[in-house]
């Protein structure tokens, strides 16, 4: 039965049903409600012998998860933005060691400048960390993905990151069905770990590997990620059979039949995109959308199959790689290598700027008129940017661009 729940609470309840043994909790906006809810659950005795570790940093959180997984316990933690960066070293370590971890990332922009609102920079900044990265479009999917993530992580012995848009999803109250506890237990049997610290059979984990073997070790990790391309749809299918919902998987097409223009995106923005697609289809415009549900590994074959028939692809992405452009777009281009389909990277929604249906409609109109370049910034205030660039060469007040902006607005006062 669906209940009206805040996204964070729904995720916390679901994680509880996955029976974690160790929860490492460190707060950062906008994930705080998740760790708070889990703390309450542990303290109320709702999670059995689950140990709550109130750690002193995100780096400690991921490290504690590594330790817990190493002794065969099932860990959990959540983070966002700066916290994800702070644990970056540990992320690479966890995947390199092949540990089955699951973590929620409540997607939030990365500073400087500090920004607490939603975009995808945090998760995408760690795209090379060796973690599987899944993106939820809705709170229901976020909930479902956590269950699938544990199954995936423990099957492959690889860590999995479940991404959900910070604030936009974490703090939205909407009807969500939290999976039934018994069904989750059946879906997540305890799996003997591939490696474990056990006095009865001592192992050394984390040795130093030199040039003679490092390449092979890394190749095997890449190979394992590629194996996830088979495991992910398989698990999604089994999930659908057990829970009756289509969640997860690699990609999801929306009204792709005969679509000349396809919008590709990840996460909650797909809701608005679908509504725009519906409106345009009502007017006979051949547009569709493709949800990229799994970002790492890249589902290249699925992307190609879905997008090659289209004339053009507009990738709406909430992050960018400064100095080069889109991140998701680069993967899309690679998947479409050799096809005639044009790909346009549109950077949008950075730092929580809403991606409005009006802007999407305008964007798609320009796309259909072939007026989009290969890289664009949605809703960029060009006047403001131009003014700042003009001013950059001729400062009118001492100090950085905040001071210049004040001066331009006539608000700067020299000290008497």
Contact 325, 342 (CB under 8 A): no
Q: Check binding of 25 to another protein (CB under 8 A).
A: no
Task: Kindly indicate which of the ranges 150-158, 166-174, 238-246, 387-395 contains the residues binding another protein, using the contact rule CB under 8 A.
Answer: 166-174
Token reading at 195: 């490696």
Q: Check binding of 270 to another protein (CB under 8 A).
A: yes
The strand pairing partners of 79, in sequence order, are 105
Token reading at 94: 């966890």
Question: Interaction with another protein in 102-141: which residues (CB under 8 A)?
Answer: 116-117, 138
Task: State which H helix or E strand residue 281 sits in.
Answer: helix 269-282
Among 28, 69, 367, 378, binds another protein (CB under 8 A): 69
Task: State which H helix or E strand residue 403 sits in.
Answer: helix 401-408
CB of 184 to another protein, least distance (A): 18
Which CB, 29 or 261, lies closer to another protein? 29
By three-state DSSP, how is residue 53 classified? Answer: strand
**Sign of dihedral through CA atoms 283, 287, 288, 289?**
negative
Distance of CA 202 to the CA centre of its chain: 36
Task: Kindly indicate which of the ranges 255-263, 267-275, 338-346, 369-377 contains the residues binding another protein, using the contact rule CB under 8 A.
Answer: 267-275
By three-state DSSP, how is residue 343 classified? Answer: strand
Q: Check binding of 207 to another protein (CB under 8 A).
A: yes
Q: Check binding of 53 to another protein (CB under 8 A).
A: yes
Question: Interaction with another protein in 343-362: which residues (CB under 8 A)?
Answer: 352, 354-358
Phi/psi for 367 (5° steps) reads: -60, -45
Among 40, 43, 89, 219, binds another protein (CB under 8 A): 89
Q: Check binding of 260 to another protein (CB under 8 A).
A: no
Which CB, 126 or 341, lies closer to another protein? 126
CB of 195 to another protein, least distance (A): 9
CB of 283 to another protein, least distance (A): 19
CB of 245 to another protein, least distance (A): 12
Which CB, 21 or 36, lies closer to another protein? 21
Question: Interaction with another protein in 171-190: which residues (CB under 8 A)?
Answer: 171-175
Q: Check binding of 168 to another protein (CB under 8 A).
A: yes
C-alpha 132/C-alpha 115 separation (Å) is 25
DSSP state of 286: -
Contact 298, 124 (CB under 8 A): no
Among 45, 113, 189, 199, binds another protein (CB under 8 A): 199
Q: Check binding of 268 to another protein (CB under 8 A).
A: yes
Ordered strands of the 287-292 beta sheet: 251-254, 287-292, 261-265, 312-317, 342-347, 375-377
- Strand runs labelled E in 301-360: 312-317, 342-347
Which CB, 63 or 404, lies closer to another protein? 63
Among 8, 12, 16, 30, binds another protein (CB under 8 A): 30
Site residue total, another protein (CB under 8 A) = 71
Question: Interaction with another protein in 272-301: which residues (CB under 8 A)?
Answer: 272, 274-275
Residue with tokens 């997984």: 69
C-alpha 102/C-alpha 278 separation (Å) is 35
């Amino acid at each position: 039965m669906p209940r009206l729940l805040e996204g964070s609470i729904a995720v916390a309840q679901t994680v509880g049903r996955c029976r974690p043994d160790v929860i490492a909790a460190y707060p950062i906006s906008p994930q705080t409600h998740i760790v708070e809810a889990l703390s309450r659950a542990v303290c109320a005795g709702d999670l059995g012998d689950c140990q709550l570790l109130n750690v002193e940093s995100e780096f400690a959180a991921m490290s504690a998860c590594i330790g817990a997984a190493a002794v065969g316990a099932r860990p959990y933690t959540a983070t966002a933005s700066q916290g994800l960066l702070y644990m970056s070293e540990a992320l690479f370590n966890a995947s390199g060691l092949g540990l089955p971890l699951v973590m929620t990332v409540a997607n939030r922009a990365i500073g400087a400048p500090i920004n607490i609102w939603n975009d995808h920079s945090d998760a995408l900044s760690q795209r090379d960390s060796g973690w599987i990265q899944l993106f939820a479009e809705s709170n229901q999917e976020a909930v479902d993905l956590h269950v699938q993530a544990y199954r995936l992580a423990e099957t492959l012995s690889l860590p999995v990151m479940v991404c959900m848009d910070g604030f936009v999803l974490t703090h939205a109250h909407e009807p969500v069905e939290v999976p039934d506890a018994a069904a989750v237990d059946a879906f997540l049997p305890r799996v003997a770990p591939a490696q474990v610290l056990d006095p009865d059979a001592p192992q050394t984990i984390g040795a130093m590997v030199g040039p003679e073997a490092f390449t092979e070790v890394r190749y095997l990790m890449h190979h394992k990620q590629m194996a996830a391309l088979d495991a992910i749809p398989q698990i999604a299918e089994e999930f659908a059979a057990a829970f009756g919902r289509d969640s997860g998987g690699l990609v999801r097409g929306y009204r792709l039949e005969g679509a000349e223009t396809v919008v590709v995106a990840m996460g909650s923005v797909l809701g608005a995109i679908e509504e725009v697609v519906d409106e345009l289809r009502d007017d006979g415009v051949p547009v569709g959308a493709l949800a990229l549900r799994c970002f790492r590994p890249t589902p290249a074959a699925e992307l190609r199959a879905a997008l090659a028939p289209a004339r053009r692809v507009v990738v709406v992405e909430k992050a960018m790689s400064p100095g080069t452009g889109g991140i998701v777009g680069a993967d899309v281009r690679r998947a479409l290598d050799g096809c005639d389909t044009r790909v346009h990277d549109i950077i949008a929604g950075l730092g929580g700027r809403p991606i409005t249906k009006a802007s999407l409609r305008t964007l798609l109109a320009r796309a259909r008129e072939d007026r989009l370049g290969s890289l664009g910034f949605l809703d960029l205030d060009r006047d403001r940017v131009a003014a700042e660039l003009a001013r950059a060469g001729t400062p009118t007040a001492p100090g950085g661009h905040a001071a210049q902006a004040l001066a331009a607005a006539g608000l700067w006062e020299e000290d008497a």
